[in-house]
Amino acid sequence: MVTNVGSLDRALRFVIALALLSLLVLLEGNARWLGLIGLVPLTTATLRWCPLYTIFGINTGAR
């Protein structure tokens, strides 16, 4: 896996992930489980690799 997520992209993914994960606490009922979608940007930011970027040939990381 070649790194394809840059610093700014990574920071934005962390912010989005935290916002989505906060839905687990803020919402009530079954809608709160939508916050688990935040695990996807959190994982891609942590690994610095996005499978969709690989498919579409996008690279925001500096080489």
**pLDDT per residue over 30-61, tens digit each?**
999 999 999 999 999 999 999 999 999 999 98
The conformation of residue 22, written as its DSSP 8-state character, comes to T
Q: What is the pLDDT of residues 16-26, one digit of tens each?
A: 999 999 999 99
- Cβ contact 52:60 at 8 Å: no
Cβ within 8 Å of residue 36, ≥6 positions away: 21, 24
How far, in Å, CA of 46 to CA of 63, rounded?
Answer: 18
Q: With a cut of 90, say whether residue 63 has pLDDT above it.
A: no
Let me know the angle formed at the C-alpha of 62 by 12 and 52, rounded to the nearest 5 degrees.
55
The distance from CA 36 to its chain's CA centroid, rounded to whole angstroms, is: 11
